[in-house]
């Protein structure tokens, strides 16, 4: 916002400002100035002044500092209908808060999804669909989801607040009591971060933890009952066509009555899409994955995946050991897909044979070998609990032998797969471009590449006919573009309804055309230097770009017309728009950058604050004999090619590495957008052949 | 160090050493201001990108920027060293914030949330300075609502209020940092307070009679 001209008489603002300034200074000195004194001394504005100073004092509430600087963004303002009370846990799938639903005045748990931000609309759509389906589940062993919402930039859902523990915490505690090390830090409860202070007097834990518990038949009956309840909850969900996809101890809660609740229905989908860097979380997730999930990235899984994972969970409860202990993701995936777990009874002889059989049946590698439904698993668990013979049979010796053979074929396949991933990995490491974390989805990306190629072909066609082409329109993105420099520190925003925006934290060229296809052309663009730039940054356009091998990478040569609209760089509060020939050496040799200023003109920078600054028009007429620059429609100079060549020469004498040849100034060559340490918007970018 | 003070004589001495070619002086100089810069960043860092970006990261990158521009600063001395560092850091913050926000694909965009986090040092500093004479309100509730009101304000208004009351910059310093005249800075402060008052009133945080 620009400053209004100063009025003759001091405005109320100026007056209040002056007094507030003094008032603030006195507060800073530790004094206690009196608002009333100031009000009395300025009777004409006593009313507003009093309130303005009161407002000022509110800014100094110690609690305000706390509110602003407190670690948690969500605790301070309500999230829709929910006022978050305290954080009760965090995990791979988000942070859980105890909260108050304002309208119904009830206690709820609100889970805030992490990186919902990073999901694309398609993924969000799917999340919404899934979580809404999950919200329809009504079962005594499924945590009811009350609301699925989006507020203040985050996706969250509110569910019944269950006071209790997750089975992950139970296992952790059991292991601790059994004198085993707490080996799986990632497996802690999403609900109660610290299992040890969660009150060992709550029922299940108390029962579970009685001495010698892991040996007592009672312990395994409890496991059987918990498994039964989970299976019943799953069966209900499966009936409603909702898969969980991520059944694991951390997602099974036990309340204070000892009743089991399944939570986080429909969320696993999100996780499989999130490319997590935090390996620990990923491993926590992977551990209970079904073999079919482990084998393929995007396999269509069915309800039997949940059955497997429930089996793996019961296995861990019974043995207090995870099914597989692979140290990293790859190893775990391999084990899940191909290895047989140690039979539970080999780890703990007290485990009833039938419980072992139930667990093994649930965990068969092939889905077709598992219980066909959660109902059948529940049925067997019920039989086990009532002491009757179960229906599942332990795997026979013959079947086992058959599997051995198949496994040999499988290991061959695995070796092949491992080799392929190695090649892919090597390729990724060697490629200088760092794939953006969001951009690795292949098919849309490939589509986009194809789209751009087609667009470029169309542009080239028109240029070949001598037509004027529009590279960027009034709004929206270019038909064709690509980063010409390292994009690790760059970003392109391409709103459909807003101007095309490029930012680069260091130095970026975005190509709009690899070649104008003629030697005489006019390149025009409207450029806006956005405020969130580093002040010394510059924005504009470039042309006549060429790349010369220098050492193991390339040096860039180009001409740029650029400016800075944020600060005064010239004398007298004026700024400079300039044409320069540049050589950008390979990364790591930044200090070698040389600039030759050829043409420049002064202008008054907009020094925008708050509102967007002005659009600046740049036109460049390139001919083999000269370059002519127009700034805001006015010709600011013509540079003969000879001069430019001459000034370009010295540049080339000191290349970062000896160059095979010195580049000629090409009237042709790549052209596009120039952004260094800045954010800029671009529109109405055109290229037309001239005489 | 107290941000309200101009460059101390120690700082000045180090600057002169740096000017004389002492390569290590910059490290010392930066170290003295690190806490303050951290606080400047923490006050403004968009809470929604905090998982991706920590104030220390910003300060560290700003240190590189400052190092690159240090020679230029020594030659020109356009402002006090502390303000210059603040400015460099602030610019880096804006860029990084923008970058990460874009990286998070717009979803965290659009709404203004006042930076949420954690300058413990700042809190303590303010407490040490003696809290202001305020009525015994439901303080945390009030603070929470004031914070929401601040988040509704334009950046121009909010910035000057933060500078004067949370960073404890003087009017002169705020003016320099904003690159405006001191008179304009004080007027801006006045205007921001008047707007704050209006918003507080609209939000029922201040008496409703005019």
| Domain definitions of chain B by residue range | 1-131, 132-202
Spatial distance between the Cα atoms of A357 and A354, rounded to a whole number of angstroms: 5
Contact A155, A113 (CB under 8 A): yes
Mean pLDDT of chain A: 75
Lowest mean per-residue pLDDT among A24-28, A52-56, B142-146: B142-146
Local confidence band at B122 (pLDDT 50, 70, 90 cut-offs): very low
CATH number listed for the domain at residues B132-202? 1.10.10.10
Residue from A130, A137, A188, A136 nearest A155 by CA: A130
Overall average pLDDT of the A10-20 stretch:
91
Question: Is residue A329 predicted with pLDDT exceeding 80?
Answer: no
Domain ranges of chain A: 12-60, 82-395, 396-430, 448-689
Q: How far apart are the first and last CA of chain A?
A: 43
Beta pairing partners, A253: A166, A261
Smallest CA–CA distance from B117 into chain A, residue: A69
pTM of whole model > 0.80? no
For residue A12, list chain B residues with Cβ-Cβ distance below 8 A. Answer: 190, 194
A157-180 per-position pLDDT tens digit:
888 888 777 888 778 777 777 776
A448-689, which class in CATH?
Answer: mainly beta
Spatial distance between the Cα atoms of A127 and B107, rounded to a whole number of angstroms: 15
Spatial distance between the Cα atoms of A333 and A323, rounded to a whole number of angstroms: 12
For residue B42, list chain A residues with Cβ-Cβ distance below 8 A. Answer: 69
Check if A99 contacts B (Cβ < 8 Å).
no
Q: What ipTM does the predicted assembly reach? A: 0.75
A409-433 per-position pLDDT tens digit:
666 566 655 555 555 555 444 443 3
Residue given tokens 């080339």 in the structure block: A652
Token readout for A457 is: 């072909």
Residues 6+ apart with CB under 8 A from A259: A140, A141, A229
Question: Domain A82-395 adopts which CATH fold?
Answer: Transferase(Phosphotransferase); domain 1 (1.10.510)
Q: How far is B77 from chain A (nearest CA, A)?
A: 15
> Higher pLDDT residue, B128 or A520?
A520
For residue B69, list chain A residues with Cβ-Cβ distance below 8 A. Answer: 536
Smallest CA–CA distance from B188 into chain A, residue: A17
Specify the CATH number for B1-131; select among 1.20.1050.10, 3.30.56.10, 1.10.1740.10, 3.40.50.670: 1.10.1740.10
Local confidence band at B119 (pLDDT 50, 70, 90 cut-offs): very low
Q: Exposed/middle/buried for A366, CB within 10 Å: 0-12, 13-18, 19+? A: exposed
User: Chain A window 31-50: which residues touch B at a Cβ cutoff of 8 Å?
Assistant: 32, 47-48
Q: How many CB pairs under 8 A join A and B?
A: 234
Residue from A587, A586, A533 nearest A563 by CA: A533
């Amino acid at each position: 916002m620009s400053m209004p001209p100063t009025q003759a008489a001091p405005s109320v603002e100026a007056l209040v400002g002056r007094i507030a300034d003094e008032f603030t200074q006195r507060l800073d000195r530790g004094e206690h100035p009196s608002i009333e004194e100031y009000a009395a001394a300025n009777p004409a504005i006593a009313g507003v002044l009093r309130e303005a100073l009161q407002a000022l004092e509110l800014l100094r509430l110690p609690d305000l500092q706390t509110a602003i600087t407190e670690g948690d963004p969500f605790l301070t303002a309500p999230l829709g209908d929910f006022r978050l009370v305290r954080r009760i846990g965090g995990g791979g799938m988000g942070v859980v808060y105890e909260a108050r639903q304002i309208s119904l005045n009830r206690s709820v748990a609100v889970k805030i999804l992490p990186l919902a931000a990073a999901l694309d609309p398609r993924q969000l759509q799917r999340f919404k669909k899934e979580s809404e389906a999950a919200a329809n589940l009504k079962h005594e062993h499924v945590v009811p989801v009350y609301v699925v919402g989006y507020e203040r930039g985050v996706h969250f859902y509110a569910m019944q607040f269950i006071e209790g523990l997750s089975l992950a915490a139970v296992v952790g505690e059991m292991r601790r009591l059994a004198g085993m090390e707490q080996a799986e830090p990632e497996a802690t409860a999403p609900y109660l971060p610290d299992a040890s202070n969660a009150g060992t007097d709550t029922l299940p834990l108390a029962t579970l933890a009685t001495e010698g518990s892991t040996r007592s038949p009672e312990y395994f009956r409890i496991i059987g009952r918990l498994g039964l309840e989970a299976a019943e909850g799953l069966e209900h969900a499966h009936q409603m066509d909702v898969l969980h996809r991520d059944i694991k101890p951390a997602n099974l809660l036990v309340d204070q009555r000892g009743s089991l609740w399944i939570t986080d229905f429909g969320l696993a989908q999100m996780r499989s899409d999130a490319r997590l860097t935090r390996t620990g979380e990923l491993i926590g997730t992977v551990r209970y994955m079904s073999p079919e999930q482990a084998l393929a990235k995007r396999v269509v899984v069915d309800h039997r995946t949940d059955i497997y994972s429930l089996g793996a969970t019961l296995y861990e409860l019974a043995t207090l050991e995870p099914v597989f202990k692979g140290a990293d993701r790859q190893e775990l995936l391999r084990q899940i897909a191909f290895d047989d777990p140690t039979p539970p009874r080999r780890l703990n002889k007290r485990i009833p044979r039938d419980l072992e059989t139930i667990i093994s049946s649930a965990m068969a590698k092939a889905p077709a070998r598992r219980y066909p439904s959660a109902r059948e698993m529940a049925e067997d668990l019920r039989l086990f609990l009532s002491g009757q013979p179960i229906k599942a049979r332990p795997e026979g010796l013959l079947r086992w032998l058959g599997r051995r053979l198949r496994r040999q074929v499988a290991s061959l396949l695995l070796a092949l797969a491992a080799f392929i991933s190695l090649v892919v990995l090597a390729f990724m490491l060697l490629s200088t471009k760092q794939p953006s974390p969001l951009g690795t989805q292949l098919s849309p990306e490939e589509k986009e590449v194809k789209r751009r190629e087609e667009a470029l072909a169309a542009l080239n066609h028109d240029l070949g006919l001598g037509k004027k082409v529009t590279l960027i329109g009034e709004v929206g993105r270019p038909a064709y573009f690509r980063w010409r420099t390292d994009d690790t520190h760059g970003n392109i925003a391409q709103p459909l309804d807003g101007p095309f925006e490029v930012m680069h934290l260091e130095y970026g060229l975005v190509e709009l055309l690899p070649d104008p296809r003629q030697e005489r052309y006019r390149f025009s663009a409207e450029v806006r230097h956005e405020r969130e730039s580093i002040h010394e940054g510059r924005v504009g356009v470039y042309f006549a770009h060429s790349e010369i091998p220098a050492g193991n990478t390339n040096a860039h040569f180009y001409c740029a017309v650029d400016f800075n609209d944020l600060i005064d760089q010239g004398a007298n509060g004026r700024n400079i728009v300039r044409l320069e020939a540049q050589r950008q050496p390979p990364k790591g040799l930044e200090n070698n950058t040389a600039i030759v200023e050829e043409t420049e003109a002064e202008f008054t920078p907009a020094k925008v604050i708050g509102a967007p600054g002005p659009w600046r028009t740049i036109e460049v007429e390139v001919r083999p004999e000269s370059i002519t620059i127009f700034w805001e429609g006015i010709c600011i100079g013509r540079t003969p090619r000879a001069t430019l060549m001459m000034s370009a020469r010295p540049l080339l004498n000191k290349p970062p590495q000896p160059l095979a040849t010195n580049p000629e100034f090409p009237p042709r060559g790549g052209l596009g957008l120039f952004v260094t340490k800045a954010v800029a918007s671009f529109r109405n970018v055109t290229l037309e052949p001239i005489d | 160090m107290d941000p309200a003070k101009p460059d101390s004589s120690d700082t000045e001495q180090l600057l002169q050493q740096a000017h004389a070619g002492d390569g290590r002086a910059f490290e010392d100089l930066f170290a003295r201001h690190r806490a303050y810069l951290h606080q400047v960043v923490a006050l403004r860092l968009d809470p929604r990108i905090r998982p991706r970006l920590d104030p220390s990261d910003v300060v560290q990158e700003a240190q590189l920027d400052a190092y690159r521009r240090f020679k230029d600063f020594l030659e020109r001395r356009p402002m006090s060293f502390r303000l210059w560092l603040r400015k460099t850091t602030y610019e880096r913050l804006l860029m990084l914030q923008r970058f990460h926000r874009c990286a998070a694909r717009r979803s965290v965009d659009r709404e203004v949330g006042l930076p949420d986090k954690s300058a413990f040092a700042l809190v303590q500093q303010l407490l040490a300075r003696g809290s202001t004479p305020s009525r015994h309100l439901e303080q945390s509730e009030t603070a929470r609502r004031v914070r929401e009101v601040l988040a509704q304000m334009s950046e121009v208004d909010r910035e000057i209020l933060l500078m004067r009351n949370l960073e404890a910059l003087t009017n002169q310093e705020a003016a320099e940092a904003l690159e405006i005249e001191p008179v304009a800075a004080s007027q801006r402060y006045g205007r921001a307070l008047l707007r704050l008052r209006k918003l507080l009133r609209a939000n029922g945080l201040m008496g409703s009679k005019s």
